[in-house]
Structure 1
């Protein structure tokens, strides 16, 4: 067989494979780009919403009442801000159908308040005619509740303030643990070493348990609406949970959102912190194309692409550090 014939045969055999491989490579690049955009959109929506938690409807609920962490969150404003920012960044701000489709991939949104937590998820109810309907709504506030084997119970808060039932006296008491120490028979209130660890683990377990339950329950609604994805609570590192319960905050999930042949699944947490932690912008210098990360207190005139909670996350995403002096450029 002539060399030219072999060459033609080679091209005929391998060209289709090369074309398919090239198409798959480009599809994968598109998927990665969309995932990055979706993650930035979700994080930005959560960050914007968390800022709204600080805006109180009534002045008597401002931080500083009884406790430096006492804070009545404005969950309605936070929720409205979350969806407004999310729809804007997904390009469906003027598309009600697109908004409904996007919202259907959000099984639950959670807000940690000072003395309990709220979940916004699909709930069933009966209308005036007795017909069963379903729509997303706020579940009743759930306390951070703990009980021991002696019948004592404690409702924790985001600090050491408690509402506790003393089974021995049959009375409710409230106050900071250090003020109640020695005046009740509740062992945990008299144990400063273990109190904070039990408080934190109780809060985290309470939130995790309800999130898992309502995300799983969301599958029934999803099936009825043609969503084949199985929703479930993702693994969230313990460090992130610990940071979440330091102050009031918000957590949101997007699951099963189709991207090509794949599914986009992610979550984001944001804190309406009284003592603000410093986040980091991931931005691009429009003149050089260089990707920088820097504190959100800096005033660089760059195009912000992402928001990071930690510098190491920004570095892992390909951004290089840039310092500023006194919060300015």
Structure 2
């Protein structure tokens, strides 16, 4: 074999070995760069949505405008991600936004898209889930918890009647011996947080399953799932009025098949994010 042949063979071997490595490195760099950009774009859209969420906030009452918050979030989201003002383009990217949850003081709801027949044609339209209260039941007694500044306020319904009583946990504990455990602060706090978390997870799981059932019919090219987040991180984050957003399966530019997924919670009162990714 001539020297030139050896040189060509060596060049081919080097190319076969190092070209895939170089391509993989470039893909990692591209993914990291776009991930930072997507983080910022999504954060800004959530902040814009939260700007209009709380209309009135006192200890006694909190008034929220979830419709305006959702509309403002979408406007900012489309602009940040360069989505043209065309319905088909908006619908396509919103397939990667399976749920936008509004966390209220005593309940929550999720904005999603559901199939609806209009003038003989089926379309995906915006809808809200029914309100889900932070409710816990044990021994025939129902408890409804709250979060934020009213985390010590509880509603209670006993099995022997359908009426509700409510008040601070310390006061209720003195009125009925069955509620004396309200004075155990650590136990009360653990049950309260776990209840709120389970309600949120159940709602998200139902919406994910719903999208996966209708996915083939509506051209969804992604299977939705609950984010893999440690329970202690969930409990630490979800403890005030705010917004939760799941952005899942978005194709990352400059990569071969990589997708961007992120679950974010942001408190409306503080604008400080507890990012769960």
TM-score range, shorter chain: 0.7 to 0.9
The TM-score, its normalising length taken from structure 2, stands at 0.85
Cα distance in structure 2, aligned partners of 1:35 and 1:263: 10
**1:264 lines up with 2:264 in the alignment:** no
Q: Distance in 1 between matches of 2:81 and 2:129?
A: 27
Distance 1:187 1:132 in 2: 51
Determine the C-alpha separation between the residues in 2 that align with 1:128 and 1:6. 72
* Alignment match of 2:66 (pick from 69, 75, 89): 75
Change in Cα spacing, 1:253 to 1:169, as seen in structure 2 (3 Å) is closer
Within a 5 Å distance, the mapping from 1:91-240 to structure 2 comes to 91-125=82-116, 127=118, 134-149=124-139, 151-158=140-147, 159-168=151-160, 171-187=163-179, 190-193=182-185, 194-240=187-233
Kindly state the Cα deviation for residue 126 of structure 1 after the two structures are TM-superposed.
5.3
Matched residues in 2 for 1:218 and 1:5: separation? 58
1:122 touches 1:134 (CA, 8 Å); kept in 2? yes
* Residue pair 1:114, 1:248 contacting (<8 A) in 2 also: yes
Give the gaps of 5 or more residues in structure 1: 57-61, 280-307, 314-329
Residue 133 of structure 1: how far off its partner (Å) = 5.3
**1:95 CA displacement:** 4.1
Q: TM-score, normalised by structure 1?
A: 0.72
SS, match of residue 181 in structure 1: helix
- Residue-pair matches, total: 269
More helix by share: 2
**SS at structure 1 position matched to 2:15:** helix
**Partners in 1 of 2:91 and 2:116 — Cα distance?**
19
* Counterparts in 2 of 1:38 and 1:190: CA distance versus 1, 3 Å: closer
